[in-house]
Amino acid sequence: MHLEVPGDGKKVLLHCCCAPCSGAVVECLVQNGIRPALFFSNSNIVPFEEYEKRRGELVRYAQQFGLEVIDDEYDHGAWLDFVLERGIPGQAGNDAKGDGNDAKGDGDTSAVMPDLIGHLEAEPERGARCLNCFKFRLMRAAQYAAAHGYDTLTTTLASSRWKSLEQVDEAGRWAFGEMPDQVGHDEREVGHEVIWWGQNWRRGGLQPRRAEIIKEQCFYNQTYCGCEFSERHDKE
């Protein structure tokens, strides 16, 4: 599939949620002469062992293309505060690591876990909680992109048929200040020099190619999105 990158497109940051969702996207970008840096910012994932497993699969795949994996700080507590609309998240920047092997945090959520009650905790997949989740992760990616000279940001979240493309694009535009703040706090502070690339990564044959790469690479293919709420829904 031929890609038309918005703006300059010389330095692309690709937010990656997992290896299965990233496989066809990374391949397509490289085939189009684009060598993105892969930004692993997924503090939604629990337990931490699961986070490490998914990160490891992405690092393994990136090494085949000689691409850098940038490992954002793991902070599940800040993620919970944000998606449940009860706090202010930290900012990405110098906390992110560049070797793909040193995420922080031990995955112990006992001190921050809410009772699983209330409208956001009980929201179904593709509900308001998921939109907040995308906002948190893409906000972190946008801040990192602005702080480190990237001109374009896109995400593999838009490759999964389980995600709402409208929510992913709304979260991306929100992260760059193009959408109003709906969660009661504003820690975005993203420079306008970075462009949000709201690409639909399911088109152009990428959806079937995604499935092929998962088999070819023998990727660990998780059965839930990553957070405790999606894991609970999966078991119900």
Any domain includes 49 = yes
Q: What is the pLDDT of residue 9?
A: 78
**pLDDT bracket for residue 177 (50, 70, 90):** confident
Any domain includes 207 = yes
Any domain includes 64 = yes
Q: Please check whether residue 190 is in contact with residue 181, taking contact to mean a CB–CB distance below 8 angstroms.
A: no
pTM: 0.84
Any domain includes 1 = no
Any domain includes 102 = yes
Q: What is the pLDDT of residue 187?
A: 47
Any domain includes 2 = no
Number of domains in the chain: 1
Q: What is the pLDDT of residue 120?
A: 78
If you average pLDDT over residues 108-118, what whole number do you get?
41
Residue 45 to residue 51: CA distance in whole angstroms: 6
Range of the domain at 217: 12-235
Instruction: Provide the CATH number for the domain around residue 114.
Output: 3.40.50
Any domain includes 72 = yes
Any domain includes 185 = yes
